[in-house]
């Protein structure tokens, strides 16, 4: 969402800066300084975000949390409950909803609510007692913003998951492979690291469906997917391409490493017993580096290696270079 929200961030910061300038007659230069801190925090929060290990935490702390504290400080120095500034604390609720799932909203919205209480009731309880709207109105804005945005966030997350997750196995699907591969390929070119693709295909899967029915076949696919995924590390990405075919994307893995990982997956499947059946799987491995990294060519080479594994007896791993030599 970083790039998609660029215009929204600019508009928000511009409006908040203009607001600070207008009310600076009450808060003095402190309001302008607070606005400058907010702008600086948002700017820092967007620097090299894609290269950070936990970008979501960086965004939350540098942008959302800092902005909430700056707005609370601005509301306090501009009069607390005597001003309209506490209403602005509803803005971070919308910002956190645009960046995070409902887990982020569950954290961000209460922070805004607590800050509303602090800058109104905490700052001048006597005034709030005499003018309850000074607390109720900004608190209602925070609560209602969170209440209405929450189902929209949940719906958006569910829609994205439905479009990129295989419903049977819970793995990423073919649609998710292209965008992720493009990111990995770009990084690999910059760092001169290899990228490997492993294709896997269950042996004699059609006969399982024909003999035992599709419900058993579905159970086999789920168990095989779980067994393979359990054998992988977090950054080793497993996809179900459709039917009984899977793909494994291995950033930074040379052909020897990818072959070793494929062998581990082959053993994991071979040792699996599901629905009273023993299952085996064949694998094809292909690797590229630098300018040769392209999804279509890697998949085509891995596919040729996979069919070589099928021809050579199944339940084995074949490398693209070996398969090419055998064909030649």
Q: Among all chains, which residue has been given the structure tokens 């620097």?
A: 47
* CB half-sphere exposure, 244, CA atoms < 13 A: 23
Annotated active-site residue in 236, 244, 255, 318: 244
Nearest to 286 by CA among 307, 305, 312, 267: 305
CB of 88 within 8 A of CB of 105?
A: no
Is 292 catalytic? The answer is no
Q: How far apart are CA 182 and CA 190, in angstroms?
A: 13
Catalytic residues: 244
């Amino acid at each position: 969402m970083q790039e998609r929200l660029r215009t929204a961030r600019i508009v928000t910061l511009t409006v908040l800066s203009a607001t600070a300038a207008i009310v600076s007659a009450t808060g003095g230069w402190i309001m302008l300084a607070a606005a400058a801190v907010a702008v600086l925090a948002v700017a820092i929060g967007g620097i090299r975000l894609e290269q950070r290990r936990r970008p979501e935490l960086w965004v939350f702390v540098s942008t959302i949390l800092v902005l909430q504290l700056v707005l609370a400080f601005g509301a306090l120095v501009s009069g607390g409950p005597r001003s309209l500034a506490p209403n602005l604390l509803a803005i971070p609720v919308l910002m956190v909803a645009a960046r995070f799932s409902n887990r982020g909203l569950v954290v961000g919205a209460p922070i805004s609510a607590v800050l509303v209480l602090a800058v109104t009731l905490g700052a001048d309880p006597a005034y709030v007692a005499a003018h309850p709207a000074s607390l109720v109105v900004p608190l209602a804005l925070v609560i209602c913003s969170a209440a209405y945005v929450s189902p929209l966030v949940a719906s958006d997350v569910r829609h994205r998951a439905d479009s990129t997750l295989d419903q049977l196995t819970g793995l990423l699907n073919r649609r998710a492979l292209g965008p992720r591969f493009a990111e990995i390929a770009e990084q690999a070119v910059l760092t001169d690291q290899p990228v490997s693709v492993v294709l896997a295909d269950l042996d004699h899967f059609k006969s399982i469906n024909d003999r035992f029915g599709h419900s058993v076949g579905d159970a086999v696919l789920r168990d095989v997917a779980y067994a393979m995924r359990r054998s992988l590390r977090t950054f080793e990405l497993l996809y179900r391409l459709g039917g009984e075919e899977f793909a494994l994307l291995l950033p930074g893995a040379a052909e020897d490493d990818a072959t070793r990982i494929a062998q581990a997956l082959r053993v994991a499947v071979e040792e699996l017993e599901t629905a009273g059946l023993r299952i085996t799987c064949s694998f094809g491995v292909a690797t590229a580096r630098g300018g040769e990294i392209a999804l279509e060519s890697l998949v085509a080479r891995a596919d040729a290696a996979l069919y070589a594994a099928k021809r050579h007896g199944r339940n084995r791993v074949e490398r693209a270079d070996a398969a090419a030599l055998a064909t030649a």
